[in-house]
Amino acid sequence: MKGKLEPSERQKLIEEGKNLKEGLVTLEEDLLKLTEELQQEAQCIPNMTHPDVPIGDEDCSTIRTTVGSPREFSFPIKDHLQLGKELDLFDFDAGGKVSGSKFYYLKNEAVMLEMALTNWTVFEVIKRGFTPLTTPEIVRSSVVEKCGFQPRGENTQVYSIESSDQCLIGTAEIPVGGIHMDSILADSQLPLKYVAFSHCFRTEAGAAGAAAKGLYRVHQFSKVEMFVLCRPEESDSYHEELIRIEEELFSSLGLHFKILDMATADLGAPAYRKFDVEAWMPGLGRYGEISSASNCTDYQSRRLGIRYRPSEAPPSTTPKKGKGNVPTQFVHTLNATACAIPRMIVCILENYQQEDGSVVIPDPLRPFMGGLERITPKSQ
């Protein structure tokens, strides 16, 4: 077009340029659509699994550790629902009328017990070098997806907010995972260790039956969550640290529990390896999951865009000359439940019930309950 051209030739090239421009717009639209489709397909691919993870369904999970033994009772035991009714600790009937099934009111000493469990857990984890957080409880759907959870679909556990791109969180893992989204951390900042308190909301789609009754499986609950961002070569050791902290916390409350190395079918998309803690619940007559600890390697950090710049280049790479050219790497992320409040209340009520109908408060929680030593029937 810059050269000397006949008018007819110039007009021909102008028309060709218009066609190219229009074609480019169509190609860009197609590329955007295909990129979104590719991203959706890619998000269906789960993380790799640790070579030691048992292969198979949940029944193939192996026991790592067993702590304590079941308490033997010399009187007929009650489940937490009966204890809660007799001690006036919660109200599912009113919760159902106001909000629907699997919602509840905590009352009287149960409110104090929730606050005691929260504060005791947070203080104990802070002692171990974690930074405390409270988090937003509404997040963008894209952050939920990047953390490895599906906010849409028939079997979703996520409550989505209509006419918006936002969801209620099912765990503090999601907003804590997003706190460093799209950032490059300095090597000196790692590891970052957080302990976060939040309320959690889950649809519990498909959950029914006696195993899900009472406080064991509900739509809204409080939880204290641990979250670690670290260098890739350190994530296995931090996974061991997280499960050790959980073991120390639950042991100090006098619970009998077992720690499981979960089989591949039970890992979920983000987890490279997951340890579950199942505590004995005598009133329910079974073990129930009270916690888990997962190493998600770089599954979440790749999607969230969380990198760090090592102070020195790995031996396998040769950085370019000049300052600041050490290649960035994705951090590894780990999460672990320090205390899921309703299930811990189930454990305490059922394991510490007494023949006279009272419930003894475990020693570590008493300072956080104003020195209260036991919950007694109101008639006493």
28 a known binding residue?
Answer: no
Q: How far apart are CA 81 and CA 134, in angstroms?
A: 30
Active site residue 10: no
66 a known binding residue?
Answer: no
291 a known binding residue?
Answer: yes
Active site residue 286: no
335 a known binding residue?
Answer: yes
Annotated catalytic residue, options 61, 202, 273, 350? 202
198 a known binding residue?
Answer: no
Residue 82 in contact with residue 213, Cβ under 8 Å? no
Active site residue 289: yes
Active site residue 101: no
Annotated catalytic residue, options 142, 289, 309, 366? 289
Active site residue 273: no
Annotated catalytic residue, options 124, 217, 235, 273? 217
The number of residues in the chain equals 380
In 3D space, the residue among 229, 231, 200 whose CA is nearest the CA of residue 217 turns out to be: 200
Q: Is 65 helix (H, G, I), strand (E, B) or coil?
A: strand
Dihedral of CA atoms 263, 266, 272, 273 in degrees, nearest 10, equals -50
Burial class of 159 by CB neighbour count within 10 A (0 to 12, 13 to 18, 19+): middle
353 a known binding residue?
Answer: no
150 a known binding residue?
Answer: no
143's enclosing H/E stretch is helix 141-146
Residue 185 in contact with residue 311, Cβ under 8 Å? no
290 a known binding residue?
Answer: yes
- Paired with 167 in beta bridges are 139, 160
- Paired with 241 in beta bridges are none
292 a known binding residue?
Answer: yes
Annotated catalytic residue, options 273, 303, 307, 343? 343
In 3D space, the residue among 365, 118, 132, 148 whose CA is nearest the CA of residue 226 turns out to be: 132
6 a known binding residue?
Answer: no
Render 269-316 in DSSP notation, one character per residue: SS-SEEEEEEEEETTTTEEEEEEEEEE-TTHHHHHHTEEEE-SS--TT
Annotated catalytic residue, options 292, 294, 301, 358? 292
Q: Which residues are annotated as a binding site for L-serine?
A: 171, 202, 225, 335
Q: Which residues are annotated as a binding site?
A: 171, 202-204, 218-221, 225, 289-292, 335
Q: Which residues are annotated as a binding site for ATP?
A: 202-204, 218-221, 289-292
Residues with catalytic function:
202, 217, 289, 292, 343
